[in-house]
């Protein structure tokens, strides 16, 4: 199977699923009484992880444990980012500053994590 066919299949599958999920969230967010539920849905977007897990398990079952271990690391990092974003909101940071701070934090930690994995693999 060539790369374009793989990409097209995954793009359509992922795009449709993501479209349905984002539409649902977009409807929910407009209700003041459901804003907490909206936050929960956004914070527990586990369906993507489940799709990735199933894909990796089918492609190479031996890699699924490694994927899940690093998913836990990513989940812990996500919690720390959420706490940082909550703190920035509490301190009344503007959206631009919060976005820049979170983006820089993600970039730095992603690079550090990548290099730590490369060093560990040697």
Q: Is the pLDDT at 8 greater than 90, yes or no?
A: no
- What is the C-alpha to C-alpha distance for residues 73 and 52, in angstroms, rounded to an integer? 16
Q: Is the pLDDT at 37 greater than 80, yes or no?
A: no
Mind listing the pLDDT tens digit for each residue in 70-109? 999 999 999 999 999 999 999 999 999 999 999 999 999 9
Are 77 and 109 contacting, i.e. CB atoms less than 8 angstroms apart? yes
Same domain, 37 and 10: yes
Same domain, 39 and 82: no
- What is the C-alpha to C-alpha distance for residues 17 and 48, in angstroms, rounded to an integer? 9
Task: Report the candidate in 109, 103, 32 with the shortest Cα–Cα distance to residue 95.
Answer: 103
Q: Is the pLDDT at 19 greater than 70, yes or no?
A: yes
pTM above 0.75, yes or no: no
Domain presence at residue 19: yes
Same domain, 18 and 69: no
Domain presence at residue 54: no
| Domain total in the chain | 2
**Predicted pLDDT at 110:** 94
Same domain, 120 and 89: yes
Same domain, 65 and 122: yes
Q: Is the pLDDT at 67 greater than 80, yes or no?
A: yes
Domain presence at residue 108: yes
Same domain, 72 and 30: no
Q: Is the pLDDT at 112 greater than 80, yes or no?
A: yes
Q: Is the pLDDT at 1 greater than 70, yes or no?
A: no
Same domain, 32 and 65: no
C-alpha angle 52/55/60, rounded to 5°? 120
Higher per-residue pLDDT: 14 or 110: 110
Counting Cα atoms < 13 Å in the Cβ hemisphere of 23 gives 6
For residue 18, the enclosing domain spans 1-45
Q: Is the pLDDT at 122 greater than 80, yes or no?
A: no
Domain presence at residue 101: yes
DSSP readout, 82-99?
Answer: HHHHHHHHHTT--HHHHH
Same domain, 86 and 36: no
């Amino acid at each position: 199977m060539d790369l374009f066919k793989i990409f097209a299949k995954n793009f359509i599958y992922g795009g449709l699923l993501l479209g349905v999920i984002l539409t649902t969230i977009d409807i929910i967010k407009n209700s003041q009484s459901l804003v907490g539920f909206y936050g929960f849905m956004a914070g527990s977007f586990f369906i993507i992880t489940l799709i990735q897990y199933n894909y990796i398990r089918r492609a190479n079952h031996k890699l699924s444990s490694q994927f899940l271990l690093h998913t836990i690391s990513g989940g812990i990092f996500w919690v720390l980012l959420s706490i940082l974003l909550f703190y920035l909101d509490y301190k009344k940071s503007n959206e631009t500053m919060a976005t820049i701070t979170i983006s820089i934090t993600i970039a730095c930690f992603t690079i550090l994590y990548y290099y730590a994995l490369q060093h560990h693999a040697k």
